[in-house]
Amino acid sequence: MARLLALSRLQLMAAGAVVALLLAFVTLGAGAQDAQAHPLGNFTVNRYVLVEVDADEIYVLYVLDMAEIPTFQEFDSVDADANGSVDSSERDAYLARAIARIDESLSLTVGGAAVDLQRVSSNLTFPPGEAGLDTLRIEGYFRAEVEPGAHDVMLVDTSDTNRPGWREVVVTSAESARLTATDAPARDRSQRLTRYDESLLSSPLSTSGANFSFQSLERAGETSLEAEIGSASEPAETAETANRLGGFGSLIGEKDLTFGFVVLALLLAAGWGAMHALGPGHGKTIVAAYLVGSRATARHAAFLGLTVTVTHTAVVFALGLVTLYLSAFILPETLFLWLGVASGAMVVLLGSALVFGRARTFLGLRHDHSGDHPHDHGHSHGEHDHHDHSHDGMSEEEHVRSHLPPGVEGPITLRSLLALGVSGGLIPCPSALLVMLASITLGRVAFGLVLVTAFSIGLAGVLTGVGLLVLYGRRHLQGMRIVQRAGLMLEGRPWVLQALPVIAPVGVIIAGSIITYDALTRPGLFG
């Protein structure tokens, strides 16, 4: 019992994660409306090294960008008098310590010999971050002198590696030098840690050093880093002081649903539904087997898809409500398992009925048509066409279908389709259930319902698609000459196809039995 409850708590947590993920998508989709956003997380410490070589100098710009959480953790060492805000003397003292630390962690060797980097200038700011909190950004400029000539250089940033974050090293040359070899890119991917390359967020840069060689050329004016240092002597007045807990920003606005987000979320939900349907063990086997054996049309397939969608949405919604509001009386996990049993049993029954009906007509028909009645392909069976009345309007398919005696295929009744659709949608997909639970939990029931509907449509779309594929595939098989020539014919039609309607329902029964067995043997139903 405790295990089951732990499971439902886990589900809630997972649902929270799903919703958080969705919301994270909004932030990304909105195109970084906040310049200081840290898409890698509020807990990251990001480091960036830009190297520029000229005829006789190596310039290094080091940027340290702390997201909200490390900034808060660091705050106590910035705010020396612990009064909750930073004054200019505290800033200067902290910056001096921080730059000394950075200097220590940077190791530069030229031609195998260690070279000292001299601190040129530095800058500390507290750009506003999320939730009204501050972030921390340090820019330090360093410089080392080298003899003009050809040099092999190695630069390594040995600072702490535990903290997750973006680490980027860029190596460039001024006009007065030429890079002859380098293992670092010359192109900046994060605009100095202000705008992270979104295509790289799933595998952020994690480079903490570079090896390169350069050749001095004719000395020619200022390098671009040198020029920056000259102009950056006046640090921007804004955001240079900070408060421990920042100013209270607007927290609520970000939670509103925008149109773009809703569309994106719906697409995602439908995509997940489709992917879920492609996963193993879903009702698609049943649907495919059924359609193979039936004189199904696109219209039937669509109806089946609709039934699956409606059933799946209804079940997920009902189960979500039960989980949240009736969990004191019913254990949702048990209910979930019984749904599986019911669904499997329904499928077995349906399959049995089909086998029974078809086997009878199949045997009966073979008796009726014993031998001396030649059937050419393309020949139309007038007497059979009378039985096709239920499919008028589907003339394109008449031709093919008219070769299959009625009875053998078994009529497609709305009732059997409904039963199949309901059993296909009866087992709720856990991820759809999670989305529903999360939506109810967050008080967005309507949105959740729409999401689950989108999910179900995606699911049904794939199931129906598989069914149609099988349907057309069979028709194609029927038209194939090889099958005809190989003598695999029975009364003018491939015997495979004639036997298929009888074999298919057996597949339905087997699939149903597996679903039932699987549901019955899950832990928790009787234990």
User: What residues make contact with another protein under the rule CB under 8 A?
Assistant: 1-2, 5, 9, 16, 19-20, 23-24, 27, 42-43, 68-70, 72-73, 76, 130-133, 160, 162-164, 245, 249, 251, 254-255, 324-325, 327-328, 331, 440-443
Shortest separation between residue 133's beta carbon and another protein, angstroms = 7
Q: 3-state class of 524 per DSSP?
A: coil
CA–CA distance, 302 with 307 (Å, rounded to integer): 9
Looking at the Cβ atoms of 255 and 360, the one nearer to another protein is 255
| Beta carbons within 8 Å of 145's beta carbon, 6+ residues apart | 56, 57
Confirm if 376 and 383 have CB atoms less than 8 A apart: no
CA–CA distance, 275 with 515 (Å, rounded to integer): 20
Looking at the Cβ atoms of 78 and 289, the one nearer to another protein is 78
Amino acid at residue number 421 = G
Shortest separation between residue 35's beta carbon and another protein, angstroms = 16
Shortest separation between residue 132's beta carbon and another protein, angstroms = 8
Strand partners, 137: 65, 125
Shortest separation between residue 67's beta carbon and another protein, angstroms = 9
Looking at the Cβ atoms of 325 and 517, the one nearer to another protein is 325
CA–CA distance, 469 with 465 (Å, rounded to integer): 6
The number of beta carbons lying within 10 Å of the beta carbon of residue 19 is 21
CA–CA distance, 51 with 115 (Å, rounded to integer): 14
Please tell me the number of Cα atoms within 13 Å of 245 on its side-chain side.
2
CA–CA distance, 443 with 460 (Å, rounded to integer): 27
Q: Where are the alpha helices (DSSP H) in 118-157?
A: none
The structure tokens listed for 119 are: 């601190």
Q: 3-state class of 14 per DSSP?
A: helix
Output the 3-class SS for 82-96: CCCECCHHHHHHHHH
Shortest separation between residue 249's beta carbon and another protein, angstroms = 8
Nearest residue to 177 (alpha-carbon basis) of 53, 287, 260? 53
Shortest separation between residue 338's beta carbon and another protein, angstroms = 18
The structure tokens listed for 49 are: 């090294």
Which DSSP category does 163 fall into? S
Q: 3-state class of 517 per DSSP?
A: helix
Looking at the Cβ atoms of 69 and 179, the one nearer to another protein is 69
Confirm if 262 and 144 have CB atoms less than 8 A apart: no
Looking at the Cβ atoms of 16 and 407, the one nearer to another protein is 16
The structure tokens listed for 504 are: 């298919």
Looking at the Cβ atoms of 147 and 160, the one nearer to another protein is 160
Q: What value, to the nearest 5°, has the Cα angle with vertex 514 and ends 508 and 515?
A: 90
Looking at the Cβ atoms of 9 and 389, the one nearer to another protein is 9
Q: How far is CA 102 from CA 140, 188, 304, in A?
A: 8, 21, 65
Shortest separation between residue 49's beta carbon and another protein, angstroms = 21
Amino acid at residue number 495 = W
Looking at the Cβ atoms of 34 and 491, the one nearer to another protein is 34
Which DSSP category does 203 fall into? S
Q: 3-state class of 439 per DSSP?
A: helix
Shortest separation between residue 323's beta carbon and another protein, angstroms = 9
